[in-house]
Amino acid sequence: MGKYELVFDYRYDESLKASFNDLAIKTFGLDFRDWYNKGYWNDQYIPYSFVKEGKVIANVSISKMSLVINGERLNGIQIGTVMTDENYRNQGLSKQLMRAILKKYEDACDVMYLFANNTVLDFYPKFGFTRIHESEFSLDLTKKPIQSNKANIQRLTMEQDFAILENYAKNRQVNSSIVDVEQNESLLMFYFTIVFHHAIYYLEDLEIIVLMEENEGVLNIYDIISIRPFDAETVLASVVKDTTKKVVFYFTPDFAMEGMTATIMPNDDDTLFVLSKKPLLKGNFMFPLTSHC
């Protein structure tokens, strides 16, 4: 590893944490500060970084995940935040970090997985990862419209509604026995804080939070967050508009409705790679978008 120092789990080191964040801003345009300043960088998220002269120059992080796959609870490791400073690329730093992570965790979990963009689709198979296509679950409302119900919908913000968002993130129930994630408070707060801060809606009568955006007649539902079991049709009736022609779900629904389809969708921009000793994921499924790290 030469002149670079391998450092990991430095969430209490303010200097390294700031350098990690600077590299994340440069690489992904993501600023983690609001998330970790609120205390949501916990021991489930561990960066492995090469450091030179006090600066993070390359990183691969792991997130410890509690998974539900086909009704079975599994220990997972999700790999993410893979980044290298542009001045240190093409030196094999990510490869060395991946090898260190695989050596430490491959035999300590049931499954390892990650989501990769189209620039690195040939990289992860070198470590034994297999590409698996997820499915898109959608509901065509032109065939069977849902009667819209005038519901009391409030938009929530982290500034004014922090307590309720934290409570729902901590106590949410699993949406799907096919593929889902438990104990995902830290990542969900990341999505509340950084990714979907503009798209958080509270259905007061149903006591449900929905992350959603509608664009040109397509309602994208990124997550439905509830503390108790819910009736999907009642939720949809509360959020669809007269102009809504299609609903797309960014998770695996555990409910069936007339007009719903599941279509395997090869996606080179957010490709799932899995490393597991036994086949786990078959048929139609989608990891919840709000569980991606």
What whole-number distance in Å separates Cα of residue 60 and Cα of residue 43? Answer: 15
Q: Is the pLDDT of residue 201 over 50?
A: yes
145: left (phi over 0), alpha (psi -120 to 50) or beta: beta
Give the mean model confidence (pLDDT) for residues 184-212: 96
Q: Is the pLDDT of residue 255 over 90?
A: no
Q: Lowest mean pLDDT: which of 31-35, 175-179, 256-260?
A: 256-260
Q: Is the pLDDT of residue 44 over 80?
A: yes
- What tens digit of pLDDT does each residue of 79-135 get? 999 999 999 999 999 999 999 999 999 999 999 999 999 989 999 999 999 999 999
Return the bridge partners of 149, or none: none
- What tens digit of pLDDT does each residue of 150-173 get? 789 999 999 999 999 999 999 999
pLDDT value of residue 1:
47
Q: Is the pLDDT of residue 275 over 50?
A: yes
Q: Which of 45, 56, 41, 42 is nearest to 94 (CA)?
A: 56
Residue ranges of domains in the chain, CATH in brackets: 5-133+266-291 (3.40.630.30), 137-264 (3.40.630)
Q: Which of 276, 211, 197 is nearest to 250 (CA)?
A: 211
Give the mean model confidence (pLDDT) for residues 8-32: 97
Q: Is the pLDDT of residue 2 over 70?
A: no
Instruction: Report percent pLDDT > 70 for the chain.
Output: 99
Q: Is the pLDDT of residue 181 over 90?
A: yes
Q: Is the pLDDT of residue 29 over 70?
A: yes
Q: What is the mean pLDDT of the chain?
A: 95
pLDDT value of residue 178:
95
